[in-house]
Amino acid sequence: MPAFKMSASRIFAGLAASAFFTPAFCIAATLVVNNETPLDIQTPPGFTYTVAIPGFDGSLAVPTEGFLFCANVSDGGTAQTPVKVMPQHGDWRLPVAQDVLGVVYNGGVLQVNRQQTTLVCHSVGAQGETSSPLTEGVFRNSFATKAFEQYPNLINWIAPLAFDWNTPNWSQVPADPCSPTVDLPAQVNEDVVCSAASGIRPAGAGATSRAATMWTGTDGLNFFYVARIDARYGAQNEADGADTRQLPVITSGEQPEGANSATLSVVDAYDRGVVGVGGGYLGDTGQWCLLTDLPNALDGNLCVGATTSGDLNGPLNIDQLSLHIGVPPLALPRISFYLAFIRPIIGSPPSIDEPAAAVSILLEPSVTLEGGDQFKGDDVVFGFLPLSQGFPWMHGQ
């Protein structure tokens, strides 16, 4: 059955998670939460929270080793607060979100937002690994080095017996994660809301192929990356199985409660350098655009002729790309399009095994609570240098 949004008072979006000391060989990520009650845990795992002036400008630092993609995805019933979530990972610039309502540490567990909130976060390990496609813990760490253990966590598809994830034939993998068929069955039957950010690239004349990473390119001055975005509202058997791509209607991020619909947000992150220190590979400025078809080439003409586009000044945020899907005539029940980026190159590139950019899609908490977007593995896709094969586990190392 299609999902109806609940009132904000029924939202229970607890992000309970446990954290451990980051190994010395890993690049530590930091989650910063401002304007909260001071918290200082001296014993492991070593959470520390301090404030310069009581009630203002506080920060909570927690050692982790993964990427954290956050946004406020509102159903219109919960007011945001000035409290901020500022994830950090090495030299990366990640999206900043608001509306952290509470931080509690008890029995070795750090709990964020035990009550109502609009905050949504997707976490991925430092090597692009997902601990489970059906769980979402902000500080939960797991790493599997073998491709056949990780790829099924990232792709909602039951591969045939002859398929080998160690040497995957990507032309056999479905391009649209939200429209499974009898021949291309899904691992998880997402019958409320499905959303996915995935990699698609040219595979030959007139053909496209699913990929583990985003299609990227560079002309020496700019870096280009393209992700495919798919979303579907309602049961799978109600979806149009044809690969007819439809652009979304861009919304303000808030919709009336009780609407037979769902709101999603798309964000990106990239290798930018440490705030206040500098460095990094890509700049904050640039351009983004929506395309119905995969472009012929990745160059400065990438967004020429796009019906929807905008300027960048940091990560793409919910004010720029908030999506609305639902029952017609108020919204489209299914959207599928390409999201393209152009960012200037400002420094040295990352290593061949390190990503340069990423795109994530997030669904409002009230619909998630009703069973929307159960498969989390395909909610984040990374982009590498054009000659890269992705993370080491993606090519057998």
Beta strands in 18-55 (DSSP E): 29-30, 48-53
Tokens representing 224 are 């280009």
pLDDT for the residue numbered 108? 66
Residue 244 vs residue 215, higher pLDDT: 215
209/189 Cα distance (integer angstroms):
23
2/174 Cα distance (integer angstroms):
24
Residues 231-241 have a mean pLDDT of 71
Beta-carbon count within 10 A of 127 CB = 20
* Per-residue buried b or exposed e for 7-23, using 16+ beta carbons within 10 Å of the residue's own CB: ebeebebebbbebeebe
Residue 288 has pLDDT above 70, yes or no: yes
pLDDT in tens, 325-370: 988 877 888 999 999 999 999 999 999 999 999 999 999 888 888 8
Q: pTM here?
A: 0.82
Q: Which range, 35-39, 141-145, 243-247, 374-378, is most confident?
A: 374-378
Alpha-carbon distance values, 283 to 30, 62, 131, 215 (Å)? 21, 27, 31, 19
pLDDT for the residue numbered 159? 93
Tokens representing 256 are 């009336």
60/287 Cα distance (integer angstroms):
33
Tokens representing 14 are 């607890």
* Per-residue buried b or exposed e for 376-395, using 16+ beta carbons within 10 Å of the residue's own CB: bbbbbbbbbbeebebbebbe
Is the bond preceding residue 329 a cis peptide, omega within 30 degrees?
yes
DSSP characters for 250-275? B--S---TT-SEEEEEEEEEEE--BT
Beta-carbon count within 10 A of 330 CB = 13
Looking at every residue in the chain, the average pLDDT score rounds to 78
* Rama region for 374: left / alpha / beta (φ>0; ψ in -120 to 50; rest): alpha
pLDDT in tens, 22-48: 332 334 466 777 666 666 666 666 666
Percent of the chain with pLDDT over 70: 69
Residue 237 vs residue 95, higher pLDDT: 95
Tokens representing 57 are 């400008």
SS3 label, residue 71: strand
pLDDT in tens, 116-140: 677 888 888 888 888 788 865 555 4
Residues 249-272 have a mean pLDDT of 75
pLDDT in tens, 161-171: 999 888 899 99
Helices vs strands, H then E, count in the chain: 2, 23
Q: How far is CA 201 from the centre of its chain?
A: 19
Residue ranges of the alpha helices (H) in 126-270? 147-154
Alpha-carbon distance values, 118 to 78, 97, 123, 262, 314 (Å)? 7, 9, 16, 13, 21
CA torsion through residues 192, 381, 344, 313, sign? positive
Tokens representing 135 are 């769980």
265: CB partners within 8 A, 6+ apart: 71, 72, 73, 120, 253, 317, 318, 321, 322, 323, 361, 362
pLDDT for the residue numbered 358? 97
Residue 195 has pLDDT above 90, yes or no: yes
101/84 Cα distance (integer angstroms):
10
Where do the structural domains in the chain lie, given as residue ranges? 8-395
